[in-house]
Amino acid sequence: MKNLLILLAVLGRFLPHPSNVTPVGAVSLVGGAKLDKIWRWAVPFIALALSDYLLGIFKGVTPWSIVTPFIYGAFAINIFLGRFIKGDHRYLKLGGLSLVASLQFFLISNFGVWAEGVLYPKTAAGIVQCYTMALPFLTNTLFGDLVWSLALFTIIERAAQWVQKRSLQSVHS
């Protein structure tokens, strides 16, 4: 499962998609919910670092910048949030925390864009302009994170149920 999540996150950044509609946010949130201690952290960051590196090679984008720690930090918060998706009403928690994850990513990553000082002046008007210009990306992030999170979480839950059912069948055979 770990390798598939990494592959999905990396491929999701390369395949044609609307801006910010990738599985990376979902992998960090769902990974935080479903993966073991070290892997909940390793999987999203391996996927991010690998896809950033490959995007640099194949798409000519700068793989890392001053904004990168803000982006990676926002995904770390997603991983932390994922730990609260368990027990009763977990799909409701997943939906709510997916929205929280999208909003905090928007706020933190765009603060990093503003702090970089390249696109917007380092003034109050500059940060307002930065967040205003980023609003279309927020819509996409909200949609992408919600859809990808629900899909990944459901697939992982159904696969676990299937494995458990198969194990019980083999024990009783």
Kindly report the average pLDDT of the chain as a whole number: 94
In sequence order, the 6+-apart residues with CB closer than 8 A to the CB of 107 are 131
- Domain boundaries, position 101: 2-171
| Domain CATH for 163 | 1.10.1760
Tell me: the pLDDT tens digits for 84-131? 999 999 999 999 999 999 999 999 999 999 999 999 999 999 999 999
The pLDDT, as a whole number, for residue 63 is 86
Q: How far is CA 113 from the centre of its chain?
A: 18
Tell me: the pLDDT tens digits for 20-60? 999 999 999 999 999 999 999 999 999 999 999 999 999 98
d(CA 98, CA 94): 6
> CA dihedral defined by 42, 46, 49, 55, rounded to 10 degrees?
-150
> Per the structure, how many domains does the chain have?
1
**In the predicted model, is pLDDT for residue 160 greater than 90?**
no
pTM of the model: 0.91
